Amino acid sequence: MPKKGEWPEKRELVIGTVTRVNPYSAFISLEEYPGKEGMIHISEVAGKWVRDIRDFVKTGKKVVALVMNVDKEKNHIALSLKRVRRYDAEEKMREYKRDLKAEKMLKLVAKKLSMSPSEAQEKIEKNLEEIFGELFKAFQMSLTAPGYDLIIKKGIPENWAKEIKAVAEEQMELKEIEIKGIIELKCFKPDGIEIIKKVLKDAEDKYSIRIKYISAPNYSLSFKTKDAKLGEKRLKEAADEMIKNIKPLGGEGSFKVE
Here the CATH number for the domain that contains residue 231 is: 3.30.70.1130
Same domain, 56 and 71: yes
Give dist(CA 17, CA 192) in Å, integer: 68
Domain count of the fold of the chain: 3
Same domain, 56 and 104: no
What is the reported pLDDT for 174? 64
- Picking from 124, 141, 171, the residue at the C-terminal end of a domain is 171
**Per the domain annotation, does 8 fall within a domain?**
no
Give the strands of the sheet with 210-215, arranged side by side: 210-215, 218-225, 177-187, 251-257
Q: What string of pLDDT tens digits covers the 258 residues of the chain?
A: 545 578 999 999 999 999 999 999 999 999 999 999 999 999 999 989 999 999 999 999 999 999 999 999 999 999 999 999 999 999 999 999 989 999 999 999 999 999 998 899 899 999 999 999 889 989 988 988 888 999 999 999 999 999 999 999 888 866 677 888 999 999 999 999 999 999 999 999 999 999 999 988 999 999 888 777 778 888 999 999 999 999 999 999 999 877
**Per the domain annotation, does 26 fall within a domain?**
yes
Long-range contacts of 129-135 (CB under 8 A, 24+ apart): 130/154, 134/98, 134/102, 135/99, 135/102, 135/103, 135/106
Query: In terms of residue numbers, what domain contains 33?
Result: 13-84
Phi, psi at residue 128, to the nearest 5°?
-65, -35
**Per the domain annotation, does 48 fall within a domain?**
yes
Contacts of 44 (CB under 8 A, 6+ apart): 68, 78, 79, 80, 81, 82, 83
